Every structure is written in C-alpha cells, then in structure tokens.
Amino acid sequence: MLQLPMNGQHVFEVSIYNRDVRSLVKENQSHAIFDDQWADNRIHDVIALDEDDARRLTAEQYPPDAGFVINDVMRTEL
C-alpha cells in the first residue's frame, strides 16, 4: 500500500476480473492486450471514503467497458 488512509478514509479490498479474458481463456485463447491471469479474481487495495467511492475509483482504473468486473468490495482493518 502506497499510502495510509486519512480524513475518514478506509482500506477496501476490491476483487476484480476481466470478463473478456475469462471468456477467451475458457476457449483456450488469449486476449490481445490483457494477460490470461485477468481471467481470475485479483485483489487490489483501494483507499476510499466508502464502498461506493472504492467502486468508483476502481472503475476509473479498470473500466467496465474494457471488460473489467468488480466482483466484491470488502472493508478491511489495518
């Protein structure tokens, strides 16, 4: 984690995968851009005010229109 939460922020674990990669991997194919590992859930720590903010920040980094799916968001304790 690059920074600590401050001013009401919390750490959230966001589980995310890419639906396009997942579909291609099931067909023994690979995505032109994203690694095959994106077929599986990946966990990213996000510092945000609340769950909605964590989802928004994640979607900015991993856009749904590029195939990314947020599977779960869970607040964690340091």
12-53 pLDDT tens trace: 999 999 999 999 999 999 999 999 999 999 999 999 999 999
Q: Which residues contact 46 (CB under 8 A, 6 or more apart)?
A: 11, 12, 13, 14, 54, 57, 58
Cβ pair 68, 17 in contact under 8 A: yes
CB atoms within 10 A of CB 62: 19
pLDDT at 2: 61
Residue boundaries of the structural domains of the chain: 13-76
Query: What is d(CA 35, CA 20) in angstroms, rounded to the nearest whole number?
Result: 11
- Residue position matching structure tokens 């095959």: 36
